């Protein structure tokens, strides 16, 4: 029988893989708009990460952490391959 830790790790990996693939497709379609959209989503997710008054539980925390990690990795990968001029209004701080 799978352990809770194993289930959460499996959920994290599945979420990460899905979000990474979707975000990569988004920036490949339109690099500037895609990266701006990801930055906006990250701002919201970092806020949501700190607001856990009702409790997300293990799977909710895993989902949020995997999504943030995937978006951050896509932004990092895109910056490595072809640096862009950054629009400071959409930059995550």
Q: 3-23 pLDDT, tens per residue?
A: 999 999 999 999 999 999 999
pTM for the whole thing? Answer: 0.83
Stretches in the chain below the pLDDT threshold 50: 92-93
pLDDT of residue 52: 78
Q: SS in 3 state form for the chain?
A: CCCHHHHHHHHHHHHHHHHHHHHHHHHHHCHHHHHHHHHHHHHHHHHHHHCCCCCCHHHHHHHHHHHHHHHHHHHHHHHHHCCCCCCCCCCCC
pLDDT of residue 91: 52
């Amino acid at each position: 029988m799978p352990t809770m830790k194993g289930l959460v790790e499996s959920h994290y990996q599945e979420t990460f893989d899905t979000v990474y693939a979707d975000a990569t497709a988004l920036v490949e379609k339109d690099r500037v708009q895609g990266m701006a959209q990801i930055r906006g989503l990250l701002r919201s997710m970092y806020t949501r990460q700190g607001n856990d008054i009702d409790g997300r539980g293990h799977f909710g925390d895993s989902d949020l952490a995997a999504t943030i990690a995937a978006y951050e990795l896509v932004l990092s990968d895109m910056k490595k391959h072809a640096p862009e001029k950054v629009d400071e209004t959409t930059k995550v701080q």
